[in-house]
Structure 1
């Protein structure tokens, strides 16, 4: 088990943006709902934004966490970015996390959404009508880190399961 804070650093989503900055511009951003709904953030669900130079670009392997929600069960939902698109940023209602060790992105994506780890997020959620979680508390969460070969095997199993579930959902809804 290793603490997230010992394996990487956090970064902020978009900051200092006004309503008028959204819906146009050369840059795109990962939305809150993209993070909330997807273990792997979808590059097809980006929105446009007018940018300034003080924003933090996202990179392949970055993890995103939601910072607030209406229920403790929904706080700290995570999603991982597995694309190499240029000029993409994170929304302002989430924070990012970038590891500084070798770790399988698929393993990390699925372990952070596992029931055991999700329970730890719920315990940390604070609030009454709206629940929030702090970056610092998230960085104190420990996750199991097997060797990289084991991580890759575990990650691939979950990726295949996720694809199979998606396939069956598509068949069911069509």
Structure 2
């Protein structure tokens, strides 16, 4: 008997119960990408090879890139990833997942769990966000093995249960979180720019060694800066750490 649940917050117009489903009932294929030594096939320029390092916090990054030659790439044809497939890290930072975008259609991957060939209408981005919830993370943690390096098995993920509403509601939820991610990215870029501005201003609004005026000043200020010792500026300059004797005297 399938369990049914409802979230605490929902978008207007959705009232149906959510179903708890095993992933093997949602996807026709849940298995491993190539697992083994691929280094002999690495080339400087070739086909992008998707690895666990590229999967973090629900996204695919290109912080590091590995490329494979044509021969090895073609051998992986049956395991190529396609637009809308989901991949999950199976070793190390296990449970981090991402959806394959259009620009990575027909991509080969290494040591990832692949969720392919959905049996029904499913919004992959919805599942990707569900994997990012604390509830899903704890469930994944419960099926991990290994002490030093954590691992999860594709067979265990086949039995993994997810909470699934109708596809229309999945799409609305996924769209909402995609917009949030976009806003977060924009703010992160602004944050980085402001950090760079601050760093630059710290260098230019204080005099460099041997100079008496900074490179950049506010309008109306032209006097030279003076170089002073702190003891000539502060009335009482001392270490902030109290000794045991200080504490006894305070008492």
TM-score (norm 2): 0.61
Higher gyration radius (CA)? 2
Structure number with the higher strand fraction is 1
Alignment gaps of 5+ in structure 2: 1-19, 194-251
CA RMSD across the alignment: 2.1
Structure 1 residue 95, shift from structure 2 partner: 1.9
Contact 1:31 1:45 in 2 (8 A): no
Instruction: Give 1:19's match in structure 2, choosing from 34, 39, 46.
Output: 39
Aligned counterpart, 1:64: 87
Contact 2:48 2:66 in 1 (8 A): yes
Pairs aligned (count): 168
Larger CA deviation: 79-88 vs 122-131: 79-88
* Alignment of structure 1 residues 140-151 onto 2, 5 Å: 140-151=159-170
Larger CA deviation: 118-127 vs 21-30: 21-30
**Alpha carbons of structure 1 residues 128 and 40: separation in structure 2 relative to 1, 3 Å:** closer
Q: Distance in 2 between matches of 1:151 and 1:142?
A: 16
2:129 maps to 1:129: no
* Alignment of structure 1 residues 1-174 onto 2, 5 Å: 1-8=20-27, 9-24=29-44, 26-35=46-55, 37-42=56-61, 46-50=65-69, 51-55=72-76, 56-69=79-92, 74-85=93-104, 87-91=106-110, 93-98=111-116, 99-174=118-193
**Larger RCO of the pair (alpha carbons < 8 Å, separation 6+):** 1
**Alpha carbons of structure 1 residues 40 and 168: separation in structure 2 relative to 1, 3 Å:** same
